[in-house]
A and B are shown apart, each in its own frame.
Chain A
């Protein structure tokens, strides 16, 4: 034990998160300068924005009550087109993702295959579905086919990447054990890899279906068919009550899909 009358410091400061004071202060000052510049160059037309508030009120008021009845036929056409688009592009995207994902797993593929597949994934991940859709519309004409192509490519970027990462993270000992039995390459994939990655992948495909449905609402804005086209038309015609109804339906379907995917993932695991 220490001396009875030893004195101890009577104040304490929490050590700062970033130890180097120079770095700490330059980060703080840098962030402050950035924010100042960002707000300074935002070039907001405040007068227009202020005018926007009563406009916004009227705009929001125009949403209520949502009008489900006037354009019912068109709305359902759009919704179903979106659903079909989402299903087909999810299936096609996943079918393409499986070979690409296997090829992009570092522990399965030779170096050049790995690099090739990684660059395919990188390429399809970089551009948002909407940009892909713009080009698909240029190539394939207006309509759901263009949307289908755009969403399928988007699905590859998402699904193949996660599949590859999952394979890279799997237990190496199980894979080794199957290999040790003298299994061929396809047997090895079937017995060692598939059981390990399957549950998560099923969950992810429902999740991607959900994403594709949501995205189908936007590819329509640039001409890719589906509910997005209907929504865009509603906005252009200032039929905000119909737009509100469409948005509510989208939210409803997304909630159902989210619930289903949660349920399915629990069931599979």
Chain B
């Protein structure tokens, strides 16, 4: 369970990205975090694993307070949170297998990782995950030889091999075409259900958010302005989050699988 209490972030430039966010995510719940660019979505999930240092408030994972951990304890806590990135963020010059195994770095020592001597069960798990996402045959390819969708699958494997309690997912579909976007979102959803994982998915595509999550949180200028069921996203709510626009068309399209804004 993740709990945020009045989480704040003010950047050195003076921008207040988060103005005291309170949020509770129970185990096994997949939530979609929506909002316009600059609403603080990326900052929020980066404040959870402290890639960005929050400037105020508290975050708890279970009963561990993340916000005051020493650096070695923080590493341990980070290894319990998998992260998936917008531009995949694979280390391009390493092989697919090394990228997946790098998810275990929080668990193995320096020298065994240096010589790529990972424990047998980690290697087995890596193969199992690659097989699960259909990339078994790509294990020895270099990451920069893969297509966008394949790279994101590897990114998912890297997050899952951490055996996390929580997934932090930052715009997983922003660099993908509409069809691949749906496949990736479906895969993430299935995997979360298989493992009973909680996840925060940052996404700016309202449709995908409604299709693939149990709960939607709307963020605007660093504050939560909506928290509820996906079907509670009425035109009024969307106007509140994103500003004035004709939202009826967007909502109607939810049922229409094939017509997605290719902008996604």
**Direct touch of chains A and B (CB < 8 A):** yes
A: which residues have CB within 8 A of B?
1-2, 6-15
Taken residue by residue from 202 to 226, chain B's Cβ proximity to chain A (1 for < 8 Å, 0 otherwise) reads as: 0000000000000000000000000
Task: Check B171 for interface membership: any CB of A closer than 8 A.
Answer: no
Contact A12 B131 (CB under 8 A): no
For B118, the closest partner residue in chain A by CB is A12
* 17 other A-B residue contacts (CB within 8 Å) besides A12-B101, A12-B123: A2-B131, A6-B131, A8-B123, A8-B124, A8-B128, A8-B131, A9-B124, A9-B127, A10-B121, A10-B124, A11-B123, A12-B126, A12-B127, A12-B139, A13-B116, A14-B98, A15-B95
| Interchain nearest-CB distance for B127 vs A (Å) | 4
How long is the Cα–Cα vector from A4 to B25 in the complex, in angstroms? 31
78-124 of chain B: CB within 8 A of chain A:
95, 97-98, 101, 116, 118, 120-121, 123-124
B: which residues have CB within 8 A of A?
95, 97-98, 101, 116, 118, 120-121, 123-124, 126-128, 131-132, 139-140
Q: A6 to chain B: which residues have CB within 8 Å?
A: 128, 131
| Interchain nearest-CB distance for A224 vs B (Å) | 46
Q: A12 to chain B: which residues have CB within 8 Å?
A: 97, 101, 116, 118, 123, 126-127, 139
**Can you give 21 contacting A-B residue pairs, CB < 8 Å?**
A1-B132, A2-B131, A6-B131, A7-B124, A8-B123, A8-B127, A8-B128, A8-B131, A9-B127, A10-B120, A10-B121, A10-B123, A10-B124, A11-B120, A12-B97, A12-B116, A12-B127, A13-B116, A14-B98, A15-B95, A15-B140
Judged by DSSP, the binding face of B is: helix
Q: B121 to chain A: which residues have CB within 8 Å?
A: 10
For B194, the closest partner residue in chain A by CB is A1
How long is the Cα–Cα vector from A7 to B128 in the complex, in angstroms? 8
For B97, the closest partner residue in chain A by CB is A12
Contact B131 A14 (CB under 8 A): no
Q: A9 to chain B: which residues have CB within 8 Å?
A: 123-124, 127
How long is the Cα–Cα vector from A146 to B145 in the complex, in angstroms? 55
How long is the Cα–Cα vector from A1 to B132 in the complex, in angstroms? 7
For A12, the closest partner residue in chain B by CB is B123
| Interchain nearest-CB distance for A86 vs B (Å) | 41
| Interchain nearest-CB distance for B238 vs A (Å) | 37
Q: B120 to chain A: which residues have CB within 8 Å?
A: 10-11
Q: B128 to chain A: which residues have CB within 8 Å?
A: 6, 8
Q: B132 to chain A: which residues have CB within 8 Å?
A: 1-2
Contact B124 A14 (CB under 8 A): no
Q: B140 to chain A: which residues have CB within 8 Å?
A: 15
| Interchain nearest-CB distance for A34 vs B (Å) | 26
How long is the Cα–Cα vector from A182 to B140 in the complex, in angstroms? 56
Among A1, A7, A8, A14, the residue within 8 A (CB) of B116 is A14
| Interchain nearest-CB distance for B31 vs A (Å) | 26
Q: A1 to chain B: which residues have CB within 8 Å?
A: 132
How long is the Cα–Cα vector from A2 to B118 in the complex, in angstroms? 24
| Interchain nearest-CB distance for B136 vs A (Å) | 9
Q: A14 to chain B: which residues have CB within 8 Å?
A: 95, 97-98, 116
How long is the Cα–Cα vector from A1 to B133 in the complex, in angstroms? 9
With most chain B CB atoms within 10 A of its CB, the pick from A2, A6, A8, A12 is: A12
